[in-house]
Chains A and B, each alone.
Chain A
Amino acid sequence: MEEYVKTGSKAMKDIFLIFVIAFMLLFIYHKPKGFDTIYFTLAFLPLIYIVYYLHVRLFPMGEIQLIILSSFLAEMGLIMIYRVAPDLILKQIAWIFIGFILYFASSYASLHYDFFYKVKYGDYVYLAISFILLFSTFIFGKEIGGSKNWLTFGSVSVQPSEVVKIIYIIYLARYLKDHKTTNDVIKIGAITILIVGVLVIEKDLGTALLFYLTTMFMIFVATSSVLYTGVGTAFLGIGGVISYFLFNHVRVRIQAWLNPWMDVPGKTYQIAQSLFAIGAGGFFGTGLGMGHPEYIPVVASDFIFSAISEEFGMLGAVAIILVYFVIMYRGIKVALDAKDEFGALIAIGLISIFSLQVFTIIGGVIKFIPLTGVTLPFVSYGGSSMVMSFITLGMLNGIAVREDEDVEQYEPQH
């Protein structure tokens, strides 16, 4: 335990140091618009320290790595946002703050995750909420950045699909725990295809892919069936081909992926600029503040990974990927250690959708797979994504603590 806290404190010190150096460099190179931003930003450091010690106190057996690594990623995001769009940084800090609060809230809520299982008519409740949220964007939705999947309340825009992700995972875990026959799987498949269809029409291709694959993975874990997985993969292929011919926005994405030089001033401008940035970075990067990430469109949200690649180089980019890898590993471990099937399935759902999101956006901006606009968790600018990523990790932490608390009953208290 002592050792554990010590390692954690050391990591926090490194995060502190990176942050101070990065902001000094940016201040020297770019002379931001006054000191206010600096003061507010420096307030971020005590904040992550408070969160860290709170975590140690409240959840001594919790997944401390999750909060350390997500703090680091959020910090990397802040550094890059400060670099490319300083105006957005205070909002981003506010979102991180809200994210921390919701992290603890969802941790506590997940300590009693049995509740989600015991909800009366749970299946219908979760599905009803999911569909209401999804269809609400059809009626009240607003198109932002080419995808009609936003709801606006005054000056705040939220993406309901982010909320639906978590509700749907709880629904799937609850349903799959007791229903594993072929008919049940077909039923889930049909519902999932309906949701995915709505998302494709709303042009939210990335989220559609995340939903589909996460469902497939959860079905695999629950049923051990290779057949379902095979059929699921086949459906994915067929669905992809059909939507290619049916929807122009799908076609544009695929064509831009196959040939990013097809129409550089137009359709493939984003991906081409992203590749220029990554190429300019090379292995060691141009150095923070010395590249030109401002040439990449929507760099603060979707393309923040390209900006990191340019200024921190491929080595920095790989470091970020490895941080996500460790988070993924911890999530898998939570699922393995979960005391019951329901908890394990929720954990698997959460970590699947999280890891797939990371893979989808990084793979997209480096042209490994077609580009779909999803955010890079904790790093990209954006409220919905930030808050939901913290809730995801909070729930994983809760499930992990729940497991350990039960064990502790048989061990002497320290």
Chain B
Amino acid sequence: MLNSMNRNIKILFAVFSILFFSLIAYLSYFQLYEKNKLITSSYSVYNKRLIEQEKKILRGSIYDRNGNVLAKSTIVNGEQIRQYLDGVPFADIIGYSRRIYQQGSTGIENTYDRELLGMINTDPMTFLRETVLGKSQVGDDVVLTVDKRLQDLAYGLLGGRKGAVVALDPKTGAVLALASSPSYDPNTLGENWSSVMNSPDHVVLNRATQGLYPPGSIFKIITASAALTYKPDIYNQTFNDIGYVTVDGNKITNYDNIAYGTIGFQKAFYVSSNTSFVKIGLQLGRSNLEAMANKYGLNDSVPFDIPVEKNQFPSIPLINGKVQLAESSIGQGKILVTPLTMALMASAPANGGVIMKPYLMDYVKNPVTGEILEKTTPEKYLNPITKDVADKIKQLMIGVVQQGTGTAAQIPGITVAGKTGTAENPHGQAHAWFVGFAPADDPKIVVSVIIENGGAGGATAAPIAREIMKAYLGY
């Protein structure tokens, strides 16, 4: 009897050993993965430790790519004051940090909270030295990829209208400008808290990353990608464009009901012929169109330094999905995308078919020693199309600006590629879209512009993109 009991006792020992070591394993997991969430999550307003830390430590500064100070903390009468030097245009990127007032934090201030509070320097000796010497500590500085000049220009060009501008470097994914209008002044947030938070214009909503819009005709980049990838013959077809097309009894018309007559694939793209692209979509079929949309990340939320809303590309039903397929082919129907995603979409043809992961934080440095503590290295995000297809799309986009709907984006001396969009929506006048890049032979900047209810993309959005490209390229 004792023999079998001893065996059981040993089994029990094994059970207790597993229980004890699972505690250790969970603690390690917690320290490695869960801990950081506690510091950056919105619940951290309940963490009094961070408030203490925040009072003790001079919060780090935030810089643009050229060393311009965007945010810094100073001590006034013993109290720490956060100043946002280029307040309104940057409010939607940088956000605010108001943990002390239990109002939380957003944007870069939230994402890089640990860095700005100097909490990533885990060297215990430095910490001990600073504690023993009673030195006041300073947080680390965060340097962004954004160009202040471009950001101010973009915000200015939006001119108070509701909309967004995203500009990025297609080769690295570094974001150059990310403007959302209308915005608010984070410097006076204390006094204006409730009016800002409850503003009917949703000024705290970052329209560039969290605004969801129907893409309209700029989606034809994806439809064309699918056509060139899965049914290359379509490229040589001609379409009889009589200004409208009827799908299962539903009439889909061209913008302004223009009839283009018999046109080829290229012309159909230049003039953004809905009729032709509906026919292309129907030929492609739902599975090809869906596959390409997914490859462009239209069912994902983009990984980014600040929160991004998930795009929506609902799958087209197998049966009776013909109308929806037709609408999807021209970017209407149930598709919803963010301006950031559309900038990424346009960077595929600009960058040989590869979309780089977008990022805002270039590096984090110690303000005293200048040592670089964290640095973002560019990485591949998606690869929806081959180099060959990418080059063909690029040629189509050059055509749009040279002889199509996007002539307003032309810059003398350089070749601009682009695509306009006029997205119909249930909330009044159509949204004006433009995506494009320049110089076409060696793209250095991709721009995506949306003006809510701005009408035709070629007229309203393209000139904004032109000004931003011009400013960045120095023309």
Contacts and interface: CB of A to CB of B under 8 A. Distances in A.
Contacts of B34: 275, 279
Nearest to B15: A217
A13 to B, nearest CB: 26
Given A282-B122, A292-B49, A321 B8 contact: no
A368 B34 CA distance: 12
Given A224-B8, A272-B43, A292-B52, A368 B26 contact: yes
A363 B22 CA distance: 9
Contacts of B4: 224
A396 interface: no
A293 B336 CA distance: 47
Contacts of A368: 22-23, 26
A220 B122 contact: no
Given A224-B8, A292-B52, A332 B23 contact: no
A321 B124 CA distance: 24
B16 interface: yes
B141 to A, nearest CB: 22
A84 interface: no
Interface string A255-275: 000000100110001001101
A344 interface: yes
Interface of B: 1-2, 4-13, 15-17, 19-20, 22-24, 26-28, 30-31, 34-35, 38-39, 41, 43, 46-49, 52, 122, 124, 131
Contact of B5 (A221, A273, A275): A221
A279 B35 contact: yes
Contacts of B39: 279
B38 A279 contact: yes
Query: What's the dominant secondary structure at chain B's contact region?
Result: helix
A123 B24 CA distance: 40
Interface stretch (A55-63, A194-202, A323-331): A323-331
A224 B11 CA distance: 10
Contact of B16 (A318, A328, A344): A328
B20 A282 contact: no
A329 B13 contact: yes
Interface SS of chain A:
helix
A29 B19 CA distance: 37
A336 interface: yes
B5 A222 contact: yes
A292 B53 CA distance: 11
A276 B27 contact: no
B327 to A, nearest CB: 39
A359 B12 contact: no
Given A284-B124, A335-B9, A276 B47 contact: yes
A269 B8 CA distance: 41
A362 interface: yes
A67 interface: no
A147 interface: no
Contacts of A325: 17, 20
Given A318-B24, A366-B23, A366-B30, A276 B5 contact: no
B40 to A, nearest CB: 11
Given A279-B39, A314-B27, A355-B16, 8 more contacts: A273-B46, A275-B30, A276-B38, A276-B47, A292-B52, A318-B24, A332-B12, A341-B5
A185 B20 CA distance: 28
A358 B16 CA distance: 11
A354 to B, nearest CB: 10
A150 to B, nearest CB: 28
Contacts of A321: 20, 23-24
A282 B35 CA distance: 8
Contacts of B20: 321, 324-325, 328, 355, 358-359
A283 interface: yes
A317 B27 CA distance: 9
5 contacts: A276-B46, A276-B47, A291-B49, A332-B9, A368-B22
Interface in A349-379: 352, 355-356, 358-359, 362-363, 366-368
B16 A332 contact: yes
Nearest to B8: A221
A336 B6 contact: yes
Contacts of A278: 27, 30-31, 35
B9 A314 contact: no
Contacts of A163: none
Residue of A280, A290, A324, A329 most packed against chain B (CB within 10 A): A280
A335 B13 CA distance: 11
Contacts of A291: 49
Interface string A235-271: 0000000000000000000000000010011000100
Contacts of A318: 24, 27
A264 B46 contact: yes
